[in-house]
Amino acid sequence: MLQFYRMGLQNFQSVQTRMISTVALVILVGIFAMSPQQLLSKSDVLGIQQSKNTLPPKIEPIITFSEILEKPQEIPVKHPDVSDVSVYAESAIVIDEKTLTPLFAKNPLLLQYPASTTKLATALIALQTYELSQTLTVPSNIREQSDGSSAQLLPMDVLTVKDLIYALLVGSANDAAYTLAINDPSGGYNNFISNMNQLAKNLNLSSTHFTNPIGYDESTHVTSAFDLAVLTQFALKEPFIRTIVDQTSYTFTSVSNPSKTYTVTTTNQLLGTVEGVTGVKTGWTPLAQGLLIVSVTRNDHTIIIVIANSPYRENDAKDLIEWTYRSYVWE
């Protein structure tokens, strides 16, 4: 289960220097182009703004040399006569999953609150920390520690890690996220959060910092559309996660009380309604507003879309899906 994680990070390490240099250059240019008034945003957190019409630097995909030899990568090429598209989101990005080529970008480096898209990182660290068959006990104070979106887990119930991750990603269950974090055997909650930040560092997510596993608004719990796209591409390398985020519902049973079952349903309205959509994660908080990460496969070509801070996240995503497949061919 962890082979993808270790191999993926090793492959990513080989391009870290190049990624840091290119992203840092874009950030410095953006900062010097901003006025002093623009340097404060979102609870006095520095917002890094990039031109609406400027794509972020391309970064290398997580692939092995043998994969390159087996099949040459098809590169997306834009039709010159296709008009631009606009979205309501404050930040948005579309990337080609295989090559990580940016296909559309609007303020992709601007700092945003990630809301429940945080749970992608939570799931990855849970896979790093536990075996899927392990059982964890729901904390006695779970109601106080995880308000909002919930699977209604009973205090002191015993559940498998597998079922908790399903509840986390399908139902966006805050109680599942807290249960996974608080049970970390190497240092509890704080160690789990530290590992989430180490993951962000390893993936060169330079705009990302986590302070909780759920996605609650906190001034230093931030990310960017660009970082979320990279995180998603990495997460989807794991078949288990790829399977989960494509589910519209999931039912599971308590280990300690077999008569007790839980059912969670997806918060992703595009699953099952828009052609080719296979995931991934929604998010909403008062400060973050609407977030949506979507993976779409059509004609064997997969794209990842990130919508951040949008009043119409589903409409934005649908518009970008149709525009992208109308605007690009893979050669």
Catalytic residues: 116, 119, 172
Cα separation of 242 and 230, whole Å? Answer: 15
Residue 146 contacts residue 178 (beta carbons within 8 Å):
yes
Provide CB contacts within 8 A for 197, sequence distance 6+. 209, 210
Q: How many CB atoms lie within 10 A of CB 180?
A: 26
42 a known binding residue?
no
Spatial strand order of the sheet with 277-285 comes to: 102-106, 91-96, 301-310, 289-298, 277-285
Quote the tokens at residue 253. 């049973």
Cα separation of 85 and 220, whole Å? Answer: 32
Q: Helix or strand or coil: residue 279?
A: strand
Quote the tokens at residue 223. 């990310």
Q: How many CB atoms lie within 10 A of CB 252?
A: 18
Angle among Cα 215, 218, 219 to the nearest 5 degrees reads 135
Cα separation of 120 and 217, whole Å? Answer: 16
Cα separation of 145 and 51, whole Å? Answer: 39
Cα separation of 115 and 222, whole Å? Answer: 9
Q: Helix or strand or coil: residue 11?
A: helix
Annotated binding site: 281
Annotated binding site for substrate: 281
